[in-house]
Amino acid sequence: MRSAGSKNRLYFWIIGVCVVLGIIGYVFVQDPARVEWLYSRNLYPLYSYLPTILFSWLPFSLGDLFYGFAVIGLLLLFVRGIRFLILKKWEQAGRSGLQFVCTILLLHHIFYMSWGLNYYRQPLAMNYALDVANISTEDYEIVLDSLIRRANVLRQQVDVQLIANSRNMQPLEHVMLADTTFNTILSKKHISAKHPVSSTLASYFTVNGYFNPFTHEVQVNALIPWPSFPFTVAHELSHQMGIGFEDECNFIAYQVLSEHPNPWYAYSAHYAAVQSLLGAMRYAKPQLFNTYFRKLDPAIVRDLQSEQDFWSNYSGPVNYISGIIYNHYLQHNNQPEGTQRYSMMNRLIVAWYKKENIAKR
């Protein structure tokens, strides 16, 4: 009994410490500037050395296995607690409940201390003085027209037969490392990407790529259509380099790749940007959407259709449920727009074009 009581005291102690840390964390994230300078630009780059040493050399995705074991372990704890309740073994049921709560709280705090606080850093628009609040329809159309014209040119330069099956991520790691535009906000201590344990399974979850905040591994689905591959790698590496917001990762991926001499990389950036800007216009202004869609090179239209066909092969209840869960995850982590946050890249691109005055009429 004394041993059981000691274990229970340990669990209560863990819960108490986690509650105190939660209160401190809540106060800490109320000031994005504080998060930016203390955590994202100083503590996170230092901490990221640890997962680099521990996990980056592994040829497989340890993070995938971690997720699997974590889910199984939590389910076993939950089922065991229910079983004890049914058997009216109240002490064992209470201990199982404490173990379950402690595990959830520990994972929660490890997540935020390891990487999750990046969700509360200063917005990129503030760091780069981008006026995202004052974008007119005319601004939007000018930029979209410019992007479409450039995408049409780039598509003709891509040798599809040469790159269609290429999934080499190392050159893209070097591209992200060499970029200087976002040096002040990106941590470049740890830049590497892998493929998931199962790209097929990732496809059923409608996942292009993902970043594991516990092991700091980037996984990119090896099966996704070639036009999206470079952009996806750059997006996920941006997460690894300390960016939390999805629109900002999209924007960084676009900026880094859009002027790259490799036409595949540059096309991938423009393909994603055009897709996003057109998508926002499709239902709000269908006539305008049709006008700009007709400007796309037929090869780009085929790429869009091929991508749609690819994802339709994996459509079902799994991706529907995972989409709902992921939407709530983003909303819980300082992105109330949920999955719509991705398309907010549009305002960053337009604001950047306005600031740099590079869009052509």
pLDDT tens digits for range 224-252: 999 999 999 999 999 999 999 999 999 99
Q: Is 267 exposed, middle or buried (0-12, 13-18, 19+ CB in 10 A)?
A: buried
- Distance spanning both ends of the chain, measured CA to CA: 79
Q: What is the mean pLDDT of residues 190-198?
A: 92
Domain ranges of the chain: 2-120, 125-356
Q: What is the mean pLDDT of residues 100-114?
A: 97
The chain-wide mean pLDDT, for the chain, equals 94
> Hey, which residues does 211 pair with through a beta bridge?
218
Nearest to 217 by CA among 53, 58, 110, 63: 63
The pLDDT score that the predictor gives to residue 354 is: 92
Are 345 and 251 a contacting pair, CB within 8 Å? yes
pLDDT tier for residue 361 given thresholds of 50, 70 and 90 = very low
Q: Up-side HSE of residue 44: CA atoms within 13 Å toward CB?
A: 32
The pLDDT score that the predictor gives to residue 59 is: 87
Q: What is the mean pLDDT of residues 71-91?
A: 93
Query: Would you state the structure tokens that stand for residue 231, as one six-digit string?
Result: 């952009």
Does residue 2 register a pLDDT over 80? no
Are 230 and 328 a contacting pair, CB within 8 Å? no
Query: Would you state the structure tokens that stand for residue 305, as one six-digit string?
Result: 């259709």
The pLDDT score that the predictor gives to residue 360 is: 46
Distance CA 285, CA 276 (A): 14
Q: Up-side HSE of residue 165: CA atoms within 13 Å toward CB?
A: 1
Name the percent of the chain in helix, strand, coil, to the closest 5.
70, 0, 25
Distance CA 3, CA 220 (A): 47
Q: In terms of pLDDT, which residue wins out, 360 or 233?
A: 233
Does residue 131 register a pLDDT over 60? yes
The pLDDT score that the predictor gives to residue 3 is: 59
Cα dist. 92→2, 6, 7, 236 in Å? Answer: 14, 14, 12, 43
